[in-house]
A and B are shown apart, each in its own frame.
Chain A
Amino acid sequence: MATIKVDIVSAEGEIHSGEARMVFAPARMGEVGIAPRHAPLLTALKPGEVRVEDVDGKEHFFYITGGILEVQPHLVTVLADTALRGEQLDEAAALAAQQEAEEALKGASEETDVARAQQELAEARARYRAAQKLKGKR
């Protein structure tokens, strides 16, 4: 019986790899079932369940929060996301990173600057004291 190789991976690790008879995935336009020798297909996945029917007819379930599905005639690759994604969430993340940069580089960073200065001062004091002690000994 014909089989198809399935790789399910996320950026933080490999999830599943093996031969299968059939793979079901929640594509953006509705659930798709992939049998061996499927035509090349590239589609986005929405949050849901990937179902893999392996060679022994046993079913494996994987929950994913979204990702990309690539189908080649003998190969299915699921690139699962590890983070919840969405245009707005990404936009918010970008904004946060920008603000963090601005804060770190401008006046709002006074606090860290003060802490740093204090640390440097303490270091300088300790050095001075040590130098004095050395002087006294000679």
Chain B
Amino acid sequence: MVAATKIRKARVQMEASRPYAQRIRRVIGHLAHANPDYKHPFLTEREVKRVGFIIISTDRGLCGGLNVNLFKTAIGEIANWREQHVEVDLALVGAKSVQFFRRLGGNVVGTATHLGDKPQVNDLIGSIKIMLDSYSAGTIDRLFLIHNEFVSTMSQRPEVSTLLPVSAIDLGDESLQDHWDYIYEPDAEELLDDILMRYIESQVYRGAVENFACEMAAKMVAMKSATDNAGEIIDKLQLAYNRARQGAITQEISEIVGGAAAVSG
């Protein structure tokens, strides 16, 4: 029941993060149509030699197969890249993924745990920046995000999405076809840096919030089946107890009756 209330809050939070994600997408869509002289590295593809993954898991357990499914997907992806002789860097969000990859091994460059009921952008900035810095420095050539997607209360699905390089966003807006450019203040390079960083952060934040909603949904379902199972066991035990008690009573009566018959006979 606790999870049922929390899930409602988490969904509200999920909804609240949507406008920002939409608006920043729109701005970046506009940007793609502008004609700056400066090409930002976040927008250009390059040959892949090393990739980064940001993996968002839950902080706590008791949520059924949610994390396990996520890790299975993550391991599949990582194995895929390793087969192509591409090294993998990991940034982990959530205590469960830290535990998991500590056992499994892997090059972990940053972690963020204990986000609580209300994930804050603040808590995620550090891990994201490490990844963005290594992308800018050319250490990694592609960055992915793995998190659980909230389909419905009964169903969550691990999802892998590409964060970097930022792919072209098609807005379908005809009015932007002309050749034009923004006035940049102070300058294009710095601004693009800022805005793309925020774009990535908003994506990761959205992932974290969505994952939290998934966690609560999975918890609710897990707890429900646990309650059902416990109820079944209680029923069985009750039946066994009643049988044993009835058996004892029957035995006692037959002993008394037998005794009385022996005395009177």
Q: Which of B72-80, B120-128, B212-220 contacts A (4 or more CB under 8 A)?
A: B120-128
The interface residues of chain B, by DSSP majority, are classed as: helix
Say whether A98 contacts B110, CB under 8 Å: yes
Chain A: minimal CB distance from B50 (Å): 17
Considering only CB atoms, which chain B residue lies closest to A12 in the complex? Answer: B16
Does B17 sit within 8 A of A, measured CB to CB? Answer: yes
B: interface residue count bin: 35 or more
Does A126 sit within 8 A of B, measured CB to CB? Answer: no
Cα(A15)–Cα(B91), bound, Å: 31
Cα(A17)–Cα(B19), bound, Å: 10
Say whether A68 contacts B27, CB under 8 Å: yes
Say whether B126 contacts A97, CB under 8 Å: yes
A: interface residue count bin: 35 or more
Say whether B108 contacts A101, CB under 8 Å: yes
Say whether A79 contacts B17, CB under 8 Å: no
Chain A residues near B83 (CB, 8 Å)?
Answer: none
Q: Number of contacts between A and B (CB, 8 Å)?
A: 134
Say whether A79 contacts B190, CB under 8 Å: no
Say whether B27 contacts A79, CB under 8 Å: yes
Chain A residues near B26 (CB, 8 Å)?
Answer: 77
Does A124 sit within 8 A of B, measured CB to CB? Answer: no
Say whether A94 contacts B110, CB under 8 Å: yes
Which single member of B120, B181, B191 contacts A44 (CB below 8 Å)?
Answer: B191
Say whether B102 contacts A9, CB under 8 Å: no
16 new A-B contacts at CB < 8 Å, known A12-B13, A40-B30, A105-B102: A7-B23, A12-B20, A40-B34, A43-B184, A68-B27, A72-B30, A77-B23, A79-B23, A82-B120, A91-B129, A93-B125, A94-B130, A96-B126, A101-B98, A101-B111, A104-B102
